[in-house]
């Protein structure tokens, strides 16, 4: 009989709390892009998107493990569901509860926020159920979901203020996030090539090969470097610039090594290392926007 502490630990593993915290931070960035332009915003305009993103993204991780039971039995038998610490039925109930609690408050904001949250919630579920098997389409959906947390953070206060045009301030960090996440997703498919064979995922390296996939990831990373100065030129300050340059250095290092993926004998190992580098780049890039927006809010 499993004790409550062990059960709670298993649930926390399912929720991927560390990833959820990142999603909450990007939601805050979206909200801040509106807040620095508008002095009066209610706490509700921040709490509602944080609830939606935090709980729906958690639900997405749980349902993903539910649909990945057979794959995880082979590759990750220690995960909560295949190890028996959480039953498939419990995972479904938890998913439903998280979605209801996360989505319901957003329905009161207005039709645009409600539709945005509902559509993205459906995408989260469909991704785990089927879209991830579509390879690059799945990579795009995951990256959009990450970028859309920023958009939702701006959309909710914009609709509360009856000025949807304010959402436009979130588009630059959202574009940055989407491209960076997509580059990481492509590299992750190279790392997961053999695991993807179990579920017959039509990932880029399995369809077009590792060399061509690495060129796509390389191009995406250089594109981010190319657009990284745009925020500074249109109003973000030196705090953003310093952190953006650190992010650029990480991306250039990763891009140089990404090209090697098509030539090394063990591309999965190198891809795993590069995924770690890009994870750090995501952190510094996110911090660049968040830190600068907070500075502008409190000190200018």
pLDDT per residue rounded down to tens, the chain (300 residues): 567 778 889 999 999 988 899 999 999 999 999 999 998 888 999 999 999 999 999 999 999 999 988 877 877 888 999 998 999 999 999 999 999 999 999 999 999 999 999 999 999 999 999 998 888 999 999 999 999 999 999 999 999 999 999 999 999 999 999 999 999 999 999 998 877 776 678 899 999 999 999 999 999 999 999 999 999 999 999 999 999 999 999 999 999 999 999 999 999 999 999 999 999 999 999 999 999 999 999 998
Among residues 14, 175, 151, 177, which one has the least CA distance to residue 91? 14
| CA 135-99-196 angle, 5° bins | 20
Contact residues for 249 (Cβ-Cβ < 8 A; gap 6+): none
* Token code pair at residue 67: 């649909």
Position 272 scores a pLDDT of 94
Q: How many Å apart are CA 66 and CA 18, to the nearest integer? A: 19
| CA 43-49-51 angle, 5° bins | 95
Q: How many Å apart are CA 58 and CA 69, to the nearest integer? A: 17
Position 99 scores a pLDDT of 97
CA atoms 188, 276, 60, 165: torsion sign: negative
Contact residues for 33 (Cβ-Cβ < 8 A; gap 6+): 150, 153, 154, 169, 170, 173, 293
Q: b or e along 241-263 (b: 16 or more beta carbons within 10 Å of the residue's beta carbon)?
A: bebbbbbbebbeebbebbeebbe
Position 1 scores a pLDDT of 52
* Token code pair at residue 199: 């579920």
Position 73 scores a pLDDT of 80
Among residues 254, 256, 291, which one has the least CA distance to residue 173? 291
Q: Which CATH architecture has domain 4-299?
A: Orthogonal Bundle (1.10)
Read off φ and ψ for residue 185, nearest 5 degrees: -65, -40
* Token code pair at residue 212: 């061509």
As a residue count, the chain comes to 300
* Token code pair at residue 143: 């990256």
- Radius of gyration, alpha carbons of the chain: 20
Position 201 scores a pLDDT of 80
DSSP state of 124: H
Contact residues for 83 (Cβ-Cβ < 8 A; gap 6+): 77
212, 217, 218, 220: CA torsion to nearest 10:
130
Position 194 scores a pLDDT of 78
Among residues 113, 96, 145, which one has the least CA distance to residue 48? 113
Position 196 scores a pLDDT of 76
Position 94 scores a pLDDT of 96
Position 101 scores a pLDDT of 97
Q: How many Å apart are CA 282 and CA 200, to the nearest integer? A: 29
Q: Are 224 and 180 within 8 A, CB to CB?
A: yes
Position 300 scores a pLDDT of 84
Position 192 scores a pLDDT of 87
Q: Are 131 and 138 within 8 A, CB to CB?
A: yes
Q: Are 167 and 151 within 8 A, CB to CB?
A: yes
Q: How many Å apart are CA 54 and CA 34, to the nearest integer? A: 20
């Amino acid at each position: 009989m499993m004790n409550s502490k062990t059960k709670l630990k298993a649930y926390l593993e399912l929720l991927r709390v560390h990833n959820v915290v990142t999603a909450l931070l990007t939601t805050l960035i979206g909200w801040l892009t509106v807040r620095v332009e508008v002095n009066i915003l209610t706490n509700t305009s921040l709490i509602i998107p944080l609830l939606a993103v935090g709980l729906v993204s958690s639900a997405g991780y749980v349902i993903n493990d539910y649909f990945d039971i057979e794959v995880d039995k082979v590759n990750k038998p220690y995960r909560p569901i295949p190890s028996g610490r959480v039953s498939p039925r419990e995972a479904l109930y938890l998913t439903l509860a998280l979605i209801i609690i996360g989505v319901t408050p957003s329905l009161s904001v207005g039709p645009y926020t409600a539709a945005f949250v509902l559509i993205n919630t459906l995408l989260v579920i469909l991704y785990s159920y089927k879209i991830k098997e579509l390879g690059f389409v799945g990579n795009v959906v995951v990256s959009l979901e990450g970028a859309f947390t920023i958009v939702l953070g701006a959309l909710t206060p914009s609709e509360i203020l009856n000025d949807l045009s304010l959402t436009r301030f979130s588009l630059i960090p959202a574009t940055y996030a989407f491209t960076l996440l997509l580059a990481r997703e492509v590299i992750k498919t190279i790392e997961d090539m053999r695991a993807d064979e179990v579920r017959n995922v039509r990932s880029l390296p399995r369809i077009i090969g590792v060399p061509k996939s690495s060129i796509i990831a390389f191009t995406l990373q250089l594109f981010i470097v190319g657009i990284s100065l745009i925020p500074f030129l249109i109003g973000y300050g030196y705090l953003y610039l310093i952190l953006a340059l650190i992010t650029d250095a990480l991306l250039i290092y990763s891009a140089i090594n990404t090209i090697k993926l098509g030539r090394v004998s063990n591309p999965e190992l190198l891809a795993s290392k590069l995924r770690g580098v890009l994870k750090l780049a995501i952190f510094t890039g996110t911090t660049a926007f968040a830190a600068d927006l907070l500075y502008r809010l409190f000190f200018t």
